[in-house]
A = this chain, B = another copy of it.
């Protein structure tokens, strides 16, 4: 196990519960599990037994922890092959235009899975979905999400836009979220943490605003996404 790099084919699950998510949900991707020498007890046994059962190499060593997680309270690391699922054409999508924060992206994936939006399109430039910080913040949700990167929104639209209504979330509209009726097949579109969506998205679909007080500039991105997903699904869940 070596320092994480975007260009390399492997990423890591830092922490016991995250590594169990990997082993339980995507054992086909798991390549190796390393345990810290100071880890013991039931969880340690469970990890070893599960790896043996799945045929995944298991070892005890401190070194990968110094490289991958020097400051964290982490005693189990898994490595896994990066994967590239395709989106489901029939399902509703979340589209993230240039998300820049790894933790935020992970938190968004967790909410997407929580509200039944399992298809996430990401428009570049954007943070790396396999960054171990994203994997960690997703609490394993990454393994249950279909996602795909696109160079431009137009590229996404030509691949998945057929018979799909677009709802860009923007401040420059007065259509509030709770009065919006979402079409049967849709994409909810969100901009970058600092800059939001470019004005051109106003013309591209039915813009929606999540109203808030004037005392803050904007809502945190994962929170805006989650509120939208809640509102769009609350009668179904």
CB 8 Å contact bits of A217-232 with B (1 = contact, 0 = none): 1011011001100110
Chain B binder among A27-35, A57-65, A205-213: A205-213
A216 & B107 in contact (Cβ 8 Å cutoff): no
Considering the chains assembled together, what is the distance between the CA atoms of A67 and B132 in angstroms? 27
10 A–B pairs (Cβ distance < 8 Å), ordered by A: A107-B220, A107-B223, A110-B219, A111-B223, A114-B213, A144-B215, A211-B237, A219-B226, A223-B226, A226-B227
B178 & A215 in contact (Cβ 8 Å cutoff): no
Measured CB to CB, the residues of A under 8 A from B are 107, 110-111, 113-116, 139, 141, 144, 176-178, 210-213, 215-217, 219-220, 222-223, 226-227, 230-231, 234-235, 237
- Please give the distance in Å from A211's CB to the nearest CB on chain B: 4
Q: A107-B220, A219-B111, A234-B176 are in contact. Are A116 and B226 (CB under 8 A)?
A: no
A113 & B213 in contact (Cβ 8 Å cutoff): yes
A213 & B111 in contact (Cβ 8 Å cutoff): no
A141 — which chain B residues lie within 8 A by C-beta?
Answer: 215-216
A211 — which chain B residues lie within 8 A by C-beta?
Answer: 234, 237
Considering the chains assembled together, what is the distance between the CA atoms of A212 and B227 in angstroms? 12
Considering the chains assembled together, what is the distance between the CA atoms of A211 and B234 in angstroms? 8
- Please give the distance in Å from A16's CB to the nearest CB on chain B: 13
Q: Which residue of B lies closest to A219 (CB)?
A: B114
Considering the chains assembled together, what is the distance between the CA atoms of A170 and B217 in angstroms? 30
A220 & B111 in contact (Cβ 8 Å cutoff): yes
**Looking at the complex, which one of B139, B216, B220 makes contact with A222 (CB distance below 8 Å)?**
B220
A177 — which chain B residues lie within 8 A by C-beta?
Answer: 234
Extra inter-chain contacts (10) besides given A115-B212, A230-B231, CB under 8 Å: A110-B220, A113-B215, A114-B219, A178-B234, A210-B230, A212-B237, A220-B222, A223-B223, A223-B226, A227-B230
